[in-house]
Amino acid sequence: MEQKTYVMIKPDAVARGLVGSIVARLEAVGLTLERMELGSVTAEQAAANYAEHEGKPFYAGLVEYVTSGPVVKMVVSGPDAVAVVRKMMGATNPKDAAPGTIRGDFGLTLDANIIHGSDSPESAEREIAIFFG
């Protein structure tokens, strides 16, 4: 089923020059980049995107990190795009992510884990609205 999902390449990956490698992987599996923008995440966007984590011990650090530098925001589409991107990203903690996944190959720490991808079609719709209006 054709889907859209939201993908964000996080500040650590942008700073390390990994954008091209990550985008190439998404395209190589047949996903389509419908929209892509280098920019920053506002505190308001971060709060809206990570609202389900508010009150958790890691929340403040997550918001601080994602607003700390440039990110690449993308709308990606293709058959089962949400599940495909989630599988490609690998486990949230890079030390648990399989080799061949984005986090397994490029991730360094749980806090700086390279990439964000929507976890459901509903989240994708909400996140695309947060970052692209």
CATH code, domain carrying 122 = 3.30.70.141
- Give the whole-angstrom CA distance, residue 5 versus residue 53: 20
Among 61, 62, 117, CA closest to 90: 117
> How does pLDDT run along the chain (133 residues), one tens digit per residue?
899 999 999 999 999 999 999 999 999 999 999 999 999 999 999 999 999 899 999 899 999 999 999 999 999 999 999 999 999 999 999 999 999 999 999 999 988 899 999 999 999 999 999 999 8
Residue 123: which domain range?
2-40+70-132
CB 39 within 8 A of CB 67: no
What residues act catalytically? 116
Residue 49 lies in a domain: no
Q: In which element (H, E) is residue 37 found?
A: strand 32-39
- Give the whole-angstrom CA distance, residue 77 versus residue 56: 31
Domain count, the chain: 1
Is this model's pTM higher than 0.75 or not?
Answer: yes
Residue 58 lies in a domain: no
Residue 52 lies in a domain: no
